[in-house]
Homo-oligomer: A and B are copies of this chain.
């Protein structure tokens, strides 16, 4: 199968490229996840989360699970954003109920100076195998999204040594030793660019950069420590591969105040969290970029008729026409979401547009 083959349902790709669509495409961040019993079963079989990520066949299996259940318009590679720092030698592990941790947090100047960008084929071969396997299994049905964490977001985990409430260590570095943080970000940018390019070369048909913690930065620091590196990645990743355009999406959670700047980064689409008014966002960015989002994931706890009404509000907020809109949640789906509520959401998005099946 040639990577150039356009998927039969390419609404997602066309929406990002500002081309006409048959219907507003929908996919859900973290659509392969713990709210699905079949995911939990595979994960149990894998033993633990990292093994699941590192087993291409199992990663493929869980990637496809939501597509078997729901009429979704895109698949997204199942992986973890911390595979890159893991490949840099920081020693990723998961403490039960505690989230990700690194054995060797990155705080010493000598360690920062020694940091190098891993070759994705040599050190992240299991991800490339997963991309190839998933792309083959999709068999031209819907596009496959590749992804990475943003340099600043990866640096947060690397410097803090795990998740954080206050980002005290990385912020201390940012204000006291910005040169060290810029060094980490530069190496990570090189790594992420190579990682995304390798994913594209192996079959990813679009790429998304998750800037989960960019929104914890001050206005000025966001430009200097996150956005500038996102721009470099966008500039450095393949815009086409095997004659197909490869669109890119930037998602800065909490970045609603910086949409103009993100729109100027060169990306094709901006992911919006649920705090941003989609109508105002569209007025701001015009047709320079597509918009992806932005239903509050917690709306999925409501009864189906409320979910349908909330979905229609998002579609109405985007406004007339559906060119340049990818329906999604404003953040990853909660593990407590009833799976049948997702059915209600997807049906509502499709029905609200009165469109026929592809």
Contacts and interface: CB of A to CB of B under 8 A. Distances in A.
A282 to B, nearest CB: 13
26 contacts: A168-B301, A168-B334, A168-B336, A171-B298, A171-B301, A172-B298, A172-B301, A172-B302, A175-B296, A175-B298, A175-B299, A175-B301, A175-B306, A176-B301, A176-B302, A176-B303, A218-B275, A218-B296, A219-B275, A219-B277, A219-B280, A220-B277, A220-B313, A221-B296, A254-B275, A257-B257
Contacts of A166: 298, 334
Nearest to A301: B172
Nearest to A169: B301
Q: Interface of chain A, helix or strand or loop or mixed?
A: helix
Interface of A: 166-168, 171-172, 174-176, 215-222, 254, 256-257, 274-277, 280, 296, 298-299, 301-303, 306, 310, 313, 330, 334, 336
Contacts of A306: 175-176
B167 A298 contact: yes
Contacts of A274: 218-219
A176 to B, nearest CB: 4
A28 to B, nearest CB: 16
A12 to B, nearest CB: 23
A8 to B, nearest CB: 34
Contacts of A175: 296, 298-299, 301-302, 306, 310
Contacts of A298: 166-168, 171-172, 174-175
A216 B296 CA distance: 10
Contacts of A334: 166, 168
Contacts of A221: 296
Contacts of A215: 275
A101 to B, nearest CB: 17
A330 B254 CA distance: 15
Contacts of A276: 219, 257
Nearest to A221: B296
Contacts of A256: 256-257
Nearest to A307: B175
Nearest to A300: B175
* Among A220, A280, A310, A330, residue most surrounded by chain B Cβ atoms (within 10 Å): A220
A319 B172 CA distance: 27
A146 B256 CA distance: 31
Contacts of A299: 171, 175
